[in-house]
Amino acid sequence: MLASLPPEALQFRAAVREFLTQHLDDHLKQAARLTTGVYTEIEAGKRWYKILSRKGWVAPTWPEEFGGTGWNALERHIFGIECFRAGAPLLFNMGIRHIGPILMAEGTREQRDYFLPRILSGQDIWCQGYSEPSAGSDLASLKLKAERVDDDYLLNGSKIWTTGAHFATHMFCLVRTSSEGRKQQGITFLLLPMDTPGLAVKPIISISGDHEFNEVFFENVRVPVENRVGAEGEGWRVAKALMQFARSNNVNTGWVREALAHLKRTAQVERDGSGRSLCEDESFARQLADTEIFLDTVEVMELRVLSSTRQGESPGAISSMLKTLGSQVKQRVTELAAEAVAYYGFPFQPEALNPCAAGPIIGPAHAITAIPAYLNERAATIYSGASEVQRDVLAKRVLGL
Ligand SMILES: Cc1cc2nc3c(=O)[nH]c(=O)nc-3n(C[C@H](O)[C@H](O)[C@H](O)COP(=O)(O)OP(=O)(O)OC[C@H]3O[C@@H](n4cnc5c(N)ncnc54)[C@H](O)[C@@H]3O)c2cc1C
């Protein structure tokens, strides 16, 4: 997509490539290759995170004063593309992408000074506690009760679909501090360590056999008032600002482009049933081309969002468009991959996705991830705001309907 680059961008790209060649070892690349969900196997991901952190490259979207790289939009885009082209792990980084920006905007000085360096170093890993069993798209209906007791909030209730809660050290979450007035008004934004007494994490295993998300139960969990972000009852406003960052951060065209490149290689070796490769099959080749054009479109949109967030602006409603189209293109690539590997996708072999496992596999190596990735990617049009809800946002805010 980035066909011609100015000389300084080429220089930048060469420096990134050199760094990646030096630091991405075979284990990290293997873990990345086997990724089928929203992040690479966590131990490999943590190792890569710390390598980037030591180089000062873990938070390209942050302002320099807080430890960002100072790169422009093009450089950040090149960095993303090159990381995935070189086979880097997909990071679980709600700290960098979600809570970091909100602490910069809304946190107290103490919160920023304490938490931001720990996010940068990889010491703290954050998960997001928003959704509840009866509060997903209609998030403002959340019920997790937080009662003020002296200088603490006492939390009782539960969260669900909490990605990474089983290894996160901290959670940012929305709680109900009041049932008076509009339901959005009684919501408060809190930060809490995951080892706080009374908090229990229970796994949810997805259809592909992965353990990525969880239920989290709170029984008399005490959170100090100083861990509140914004005023009591202001949590909805804080969360809404964060969601625009989250949506615009959820698409990673570099990652999708690599998945598409993998799919093209698969299409060269897989047959169409009449002896030709899938690349020679007109119907499949047309679908590949359509998907690539679609991805190009999303990439341009991603660049627009990247350049607006550089100046610290909120990306606005375009983040809903990017989230909706970006999740569709990701799904499209995994649909075609599932079609390409055909019956090689049938064996259920989750152990083959462990980067440390060396046992025999059924079928060719390029087919192992196809079905788990296809299944996991169904969630892309649900998490971070379902597509139907994003379209509502676009209808209201862009079309004025
Ligand atoms: C893989 C994955 C990871 C997740 N990780 C996290 C996490 O880390 N932290 C967290 O807090 N949450 C997380 N979630 C939860 C996610 O944010 C919710 O699933 C999402 O907001 C949808 O809510 P729901 O599941 O309750 O579905 P519902 O809100 O009940 O929606 C069900 C269906 O109804 C449609 N619908 C709902 N409202 C409308 C409307 N107004 N107009 C038209 N259609 C509508 C939806 O689009 C959907 O198709 C995750 C979810 C998934 C799938």
CATH number at residue 277: 1.20.140.10
Domain end (from 201, 233, 265): 233
Examine residue 116 and state whether it is found in any structural domain, yes or no.
Answer: no
Closest CA to 379 of 250, 227, 230: 250
Q: Which of 160, 376, 382, 391 to probe ligand 1 with, by most ligand atoms within 8 A of CB?
A: 382
Examine residue 150 and state whether it is found in any structural domain, yes or no.
Answer: yes
* Ligand 1 atom with minimal separation from the 131 CA: 11
Residues 227 and 264 reside in one and the same domain: no
Q: Is 99 exposed, middle or buried (0-12, 13-18, 19+ CB in 10 A)?
A: buried
Examine residue 106 and state whether it is found in any structural domain, yes or no.
Answer: no
Whether 379 is in the pocket of ligand 1, judged by its Cβ within 6 Å, is: yes
135 C-alpha to ligand 1 centroid (Å): 8
Residues 196 and 272 reside in one and the same domain: no
Separation CA 238–CA 315 (nearest Å) = 15
Which residue bears the tokens 């792990």?
89
Residues 173 and 263 reside in one and the same domain: no
Measure Cα distances from 386 to 106, 253, 345 in Å.
Answer: 26, 19, 27
For residue 282, what are its two tokens? 């007109």
Domain that holds residue 202: 126-233
Residues 363 and 258 reside in one and the same domain: yes
Residues 220 and 259 reside in one and the same domain: no
Examine residue 44 and state whether it is found in any structural domain, yes or no.
Answer: yes
Residues 228 and 298 reside in one and the same domain: no
293 C-alpha to ligand 1 centroid (Å): 28
Q: Which of 93, 131, 175 to probe ligand 1 with, by most ligand atoms within 8 A of CB?
A: 131
Question: Inter-axis angle of helices 109-121 and 42-55, to 10 degrees?
Answer: 110
Residues 85 and 146 reside in one and the same domain: no
Whether 389 is in the pocket of ligand 1, judged by its Cβ within 6 Å, is: yes
Whether 327 is in the pocket of ligand 1, judged by its Cβ within 6 Å, is: no
Separation CA 263–CA 284 (nearest Å) = 11
Q: What are the backbone angles phi and psi of residue 201, rounded to the nearest 5°?
A: -110, 125
The tally of domains found in the chain comes to 3
Examine residue 162 and state whether it is found in any structural domain, yes or no.
Answer: yes
Examine residue 112 and state whether it is found in any structural domain, yes or no.
Answer: no
Whether 163 is in the pocket of ligand 1, judged by its Cβ within 6 Å, is: yes
SS3 of the chain: CCCCCCHHHHHHHHHHHHHHHHHCCHHHHHHHHCCCCCCCCHHHHHHHHHHHHHHCCCCCCCCHHHCCCCCCHHHHHHHHHHHHHCCCCCCCCHHHHHHHHHHHHHCCHHHHHHHHHHHHHCCCCEEEECCECCECCCHHHCCCEEEEECCEEEEEEEEECCCCCCCCCEEEEEEECCCCCCHHHHEEEEEEECCCCCEEEEEEECCCCCEEEEEEEEEEEEEEHHHEECCCCCHHHHHHHHHHHHHHHCCCHHHHHHHHHHHHHHHHHCECCCCCEHHHCHHHHHHHHHHHHHHHHHHHHHHHHHHHHHCCCCCCCHHHHHHHHHHHHHHHHHHHHHHHHHHHHCCCCHHHHCCCCCCCCCCCHHHCCHHHHHHHHHHHHCCCCCHHHHHHHHHHHCCCC
Whether 383 is in the pocket of ligand 1, judged by its Cβ within 6 Å, is: yes
pTM, full prediction: 0.93
Residues 309 and 388 reside in one and the same domain: yes
Residues 337 and 298 reside in one and the same domain: yes
Residues 254 and 393 reside in one and the same domain: yes
For residue 257, what are its two tokens? 């482009």
Q: Is 180 exposed, middle or buried (0-12, 13-18, 19+ CB in 10 A)?
A: exposed
Residues 254 and 206 reside in one and the same domain: no
Separation CA 170–CA 191 (nearest Å) = 7
pLDDT tens for each residue of the chain, 401 residues long: 556 788 999 999 999 999 999 999 999 999 999 999 999 999 999 999 999 999 999 999 899 999 999 999 889 989 999 999 999 999 999 999 999 999 999 999 999 999 999 999 999 999 999 999 999 999 999 999 999 999 999 999 999 999 999 999 999 999 999 999 999 999 999 999 999 999 999 999 998 888 999 999 999 999 999 999 999 999 999 988 767 666 555 568 888 999 999 999 999 999 988 889 999 999 999 999 999 999 999 998 888 877 776 555 667 788 889 999 999 999 999 999 999 999 999 998 888 888 887 788 899 999 999 999 999 999 999 998 899 999 998 999 888 88
The sign of the CA dihedral 95, 99, 101, 107 is negative
* Ligand 1 atom with minimal separation from the 134 CA: 26
Residues 64 and 132 reside in one and the same domain: no
Separation CA 60–CA 249 (nearest Å) = 12
Examine residue 113 and state whether it is found in any structural domain, yes or no.
Answer: no
For residue 295, what are its two tokens? 């991805």
244 C-alpha to ligand 1 centroid (Å): 16
Examine residue 214 and state whether it is found in any structural domain, yes or no.
Answer: yes
- Please, are residues 102 and 116 in contact by the beta-carbon 8 Å criterion? no
Measure Cα distances from 160 to 66, 91, 109, 214, 334 in Å.
Answer: 31, 21, 31, 6, 26
pLDDT, position 2 = 58
